[in-house]
Structure 1
């Protein structure tokens, strides 16, 4: 059985190159493999997934319009500021009410407010978080992130959201960039462009959030991890728009980015640690779930009635 499952580990990334394969399916198969297969490939690809994900996002930038990106960034700025602040405040209050450890509360709140696992990885050193606090927070965010990829497109269609509104909503309410891209790509091309742009703009808030935590935590020696790949994403957009004769190349790079994102989601699925998920406390999961519902509902209401 393990032998055949091991072969799937190499077959699925190839399947991701074909039109019939989708991002949610890639993630779903990855999670199934994580449950039933424990080969050494999981460890090896786990180290490469981060870089494949970032490279895929950069490649998708080549086909994006500078004008659309600037307009999307401007429009989404205020809702990003408000949603990050509201999420952090609600998270701290809920954490105290549910009696979740302070560091775990901050990690889950930061992951929900900005960009999931990337935010947790960035602020964990600033907090001086222990390994088990980081693991539990990542487990909560990963599970909710996977659920979001599957249910958000369905909810979006039920609520009859247009692609632009869905792109904003997914970027604000889904945790990780990978699942935002996956959910938006399942919804439509315009949703994908809006969602990717808003989410990457949102990711930059890792820096001020980490600085604020360091200030209040009085931890000046902490290292802040800056998401440098976002600047490469901007460079890709500029090259794609202003260097002549790049149209066909841009299309190929964009296609490569979308397929790379699908492979990344598969590898992310295979990296789930079921032991950590089982060991995560009920209150910790409740914190993540309630906070997620709050930000999803509030951001939807803003987009639907105020935006």
Structure 2
């Protein structure tokens, strides 16, 4: 395709992403912390723009490119930010708890979503987002299982809003149940939706609580690698009826290029071939590209397509947050 044909849609996606970043900065300045990340704001702002203004047909190729190819690149670069050093720092027993909580949450949230009438792709997006690392997990899983724009938008927007409620409510657990700070920090790291929200939930109890909660959360993030590889194997099972591979009853190996790149970069980071400074730079680039991709996804979503699924998604997300809290609390009691 002629790159010039991509320019209008790409520029529009970048402008929406920049506006979302500015809104995120304003939010942080006003409230002291970003309750909604620029990535979430980008998809919401994109939806507003896409529904308020009739976009020219010339913008569609660039919007599709930003929503697909730019997102693939962002997911690949995300691998450079993952390292097993966080796992080693936690110790084997606590990491085993994290693995069990993540696996249980993935399966149970997926089943909850299906029981409430959600399609398999949307149910898996919500499960991955809540069990592992919020928006990054949803963005990474979406292209593997062939999720539609509307499904990604609903999963990110509504699950993030439930995540904000969790951040506000969770600190009261310390006072209501008399937990000590280490337990609360672990509970926060096991429960909260995204890394910035983990920091926000732990912040009232000091830097030690923030450090431990973040470490637990980053260990959940490490599970993104195995999940993407598993879903790549099972991708045909998420296909729609009538599409190639749907209903075949067999899992076929399908490894997109960005998952291979993700795994290689994660391995390079773990072995030290990618330094901490370079990993931070690549992580920043990944986040910026993800924001552009989410803006593009939002631009292609119509409110009418979300109206039917929104209540089910919100209920699934709320139940998922409650389930994560229960699983984490039970794990601490068992220990």
- TM-score (norm: length of structure 2): 0.60
The equivalent position to 1:102 in structure 2, one of 105, 113, 120, is 120
* Residue number in structure 2 paired with 1:87: 105
Corresponding residue for residue 290 of structure 1: 319
For 1:196 and 1:127, the matched residues in 2 are separated by 28
**Gap change, CA 1:275 and 1:130, over 3 Å in 2:** closer
1:127–1:13 distance in 2 versus 1, CA, 3 Å? closer
Cα distance change of structure 1 residues 216 and 291 upon mapping to structure 2, 3 Å threshold: same
**Alignment partners' CA distance in 2, 1:192 and 1:185:** 6
Q: Distance in 2 between matches of 1:154 and 1:229?
A: 36
Deviation at 1:11, TM superposition (A): 10
- Whether the 8 Å contact between 2:138 and 2:156 is mirrored in structure 1 is yes
* Residues in 1 aligned to 2:28 and 2:150: alpha-carbon distance in whole angstroms: 34
- Return 165-174 or 90-99, whichever deviates more: 90-99
What pairs with 1:24-63 in structure 2 (closer than 5 Å)? Answer: 26-27=34-35
How many residue pairs match? The answer is 257
Given the superposition, is the C-alpha separation of residues 192 and 117 from structure 1 closer, same or farther in structure 2, using an over 3 Å criterion? same
Indicate the residue corresponding to 1:248 in structure 2: none
Unaligned runs of 5+ in 1: 1-8, 40-46, 59-65, 240-259
Structure 2 portions without partners, runs of 5+: 1-20, 50-69, 236-250, 277-283
Counterpart contact for 1:140–1:285, Cα < 8 Å = yes
Aligned to 2:202, which of 184, 206, 210? 184
C-alpha contact 1:22 1:186 (8 A) present in aligned 2 = no
Q: Which has the larger displacement, 162-171 or 276-285?
A: 276-285
Normalising by structure 1, we get a TM-score of 0.65
1:73 CA displacement: 4.4
Any conservation in 2 of the 1:171–1:195 contact (CA below 8 Å)? yes
Q: How is 1:238-277 mapped onto 2 (pairs within 5 angstroms)?
A: none
Deviation at residue 132 of structure 1 after TM alignment: 0.9
**How far is 1:144 from its partner?**
1.4
